[in-house]
A and B are shown apart, each in its own frame.
Chain A
Amino acid sequence: MVSRNTLAALSSAAVLLTALAGCAPADESGPSAGASASPSGAACATGALDTQTAGKLTIGTDNPAYEPWFKDNKPNNGQGFESAVAYQVAERLGYPAQNVVWAQVTFNNAIAPGPKTFDFDINQFSITPERKKAVDFSSPYYLVRQTVITTKGSKIAGAKTLAELKSAKLGAQVGTTSYQAVNEIIKPDAKAQVYNNNDDAKAALVNGTVDGIVVDLPTAFYMTAAELDNGVIVGQLPQVGVPEQFGLVLDLDSPLTGCVTQAVDQLRQDGTLAVLEKQWLASTGGAPELS
């Protein structure tokens, strides 16, 4: 006669065993529980996912965390585009702000194969086929926009519309979406100048050989903040070509990939991501939209 206690003990032992199996080193090829398959709603138990720390969601990002993606190098203040996105995703997964833990993970460690110390990492990671071999990506939470930058005192520093850029001499790196954006969206009167790389384009901008250059938004923020003495972001251009996509990074075959992707998809569909983009990149970040 098996008592109820024995059953309970047996079942808890089974749970323990599965938990142990779940903690097994990543290089032991365990059965991946259909990570890439889109899970049913039931699989994403709200607030009770198979996370690093039970009941908590650990989100990784690099230190320092730059503006406008984070604010004051404090990912946990919910300010800055990526911090805001991270908390929204956590919310969707059923982890309110007090259950979110931040982990410092360098950019290269997050993308390298091997065991991870986070549930997901948010750090302006472009989704590429090469990286997909090493880690899992959620669906994209941001499509990179092309941005016009210039220096203070340039004739286009105050431009608000695309029409005002028509008469400007613009430059971009060869073979990039940025160059495409100059030709297909701005269509300047003077032929665009083409450079081997963004450093050459930047040098031409500093020299005054061109009035402005087009780079992608992350580069624009970095250049105007760190590389140019008096760099100014003129504004973001409408989407063109095949934009780069930023995705959340998860461990390869992580059981959470499906649920996180689902959360990001919901945020995109209900317009939350667009609102956050406008709030943190266009207005606070200082990259207004040119139309």
Chain B
Amino acid sequence: MSTEFHQPSEIQRGRTAYRRRQTIRSVLLAALSTAVVGVLLAVAVTGAPGWDRVKLSFFSPDVAVEWLPEILEGLWLNVRLLVVCAVLALGLGLLIATLRTLRGPVFFPVRALATGYTYTFRGLPLIIVIYLMAFGVPGLRLQGTPGVLVLGGAALIITYGAYLAEVFRAGIESVHPSQLAAARSLGLTYRQTMRHVVLPQAIRRVAPPLLNDTVALQKDVGLVSLAGPIDAVRAAQIGVAQDANYTPYIVAGVLFVLLALPLIGVTDWVTLRAARRQSAGS
């Protein structure tokens, strides 16, 4: 490690300055073109003949303020449900994917069951699963039946577990067989190979689609409101019905987007990092 002060060459400094200028220029250009597009859009929307009516029934500040507390209360339910369901669905997906990739004729029934599960629940509409769980299961009148919220959450976990299982499986199968062979030749058991060699690579590879499915789950947790609990969209619907004004839907929509932003940001960052790692050295 040399301690003397490093001075870039004249040419290198010129390059740096040129690049900086280029960056500033492109940022300015981008800002200008964005401003132009924005103005055009604003003119097109607000200049439309029906804009006043739309503004009144979709963007009424009074109505928005009136229903915001209820919608936020509903959103809190969405958030709690999302966290629990996402964690459990990821766990279930990983478990099913591992079962599906077991080797050996002995495990055929396990593989068949796991495959049947993913086929069924990826094909079955979520609403029907929720109806079966939240309206069908309590009808059995079993002792200790959990509340509809838990049952609706279970429906979400089962459905999304099937999607996530397929994502995990794609990841597991994308790990090159030589990795497995190398691990086994080092004397690792199958379980150790999966745990230390295959799964870490697999999960890293499919992190973006996993997070993508989690973003999708965020919107679908609201469907639990079919069974009675009031989520953000349901609270908005009540507001719409009472005030004959669609603003609450817009409020709920904006809140959902805000809620999704961090998750989408994380997804982008993970994707970018994975891309950098894969192309490292090139």
Contacts and interface: CB of A to CB of B under 8 A. Distances in A.
B277 interface: no
Interface in B128-181: 134-135, 138-139, 141, 147-148
A203 B133 CA distance: 13
B135 A194 contact: no
Interface string A193-210: 111100010011011111
A241 to B, nearest CB: 9
Given A208-B138, A208-B141, A209-B148, A191 B238 contact: no
B139 A207 contact: yes
B242 A193 contact: no
Interface residues of B, number: 19
A174 B139 contact: no
A273 B116 CA distance: 63
Nearest to A208: B138
Interface residues of A, number: 19
B226 A196 contact: yes
Nearest to A201: B228
B237 interface: yes
Contacts of A193: 148, 227-229
Nearest to B135: A203
A176 B242 CA distance: 8
Contacts of A206: 139
Contacts, number: 50
Contacts of A36: none
Contacts of A176: 241
B228 A204 contact: yes
B148 A174 contact: no
Contacts of A75: none
A210 B238 contact: no
A176 B241 CA distance: 8
Nearest to A206: B139
Interface string A51-77: 000000000000000000000000000
Contact of A194 (B134, B138, B228): B228
B111 interface: no
Contacts of B267: none
Contacts of B225: 194
B70 to A, nearest CB: 11
The interface centre, meaning the residue of B147, B227, B228, B234 with most chain A CB atoms within 10 A of its CB, is B228
A179 interface: yes
A35 B81 CA distance: 59
A208 B228 CA distance: 13
Interface of A is mostly: mixed
Contact of B238 (A171, A175, A203, A209): A175
A175 B241 contact: yes
B251 interface: no
A180 interface: yes
B202 interface: no
A214 B152 CA distance: 23
B94 interface: no
B210 interface: no
B242 A209 contact: no
Given A207-B135, A208-B138, A195 B238 contact: no
Interface string B95-137: 0000000000000000000000000000000000000001100
A8 B168 CA distance: 100
A171 B225 CA distance: 12
B228 A174 contact: no
A280 B141 CA distance: 37
A206 B226 CA distance: 16
A174 B112 CA distance: 42
A191 B138 CA distance: 19
Contacts of A210: 228
A210 B135 CA distance: 12
B242 A175 contact: yes
Nearest to A210: B228
Contacts of A174: 234, 237-238, 241
5 contacts: A195-B228, A200-B135, A203-B139, A204-B148, A209-B134
In the A-B complex, the 6 residue pairs with the smallest Cβ-Cβ separation, listed nearest first, are A175-B241, A193-B228, A207-B138, A207-B139, A203-B135, A209-B138
Interface of B: 134-135, 138-139, 141, 147-148, 225-230, 234, 237-238, 240-242
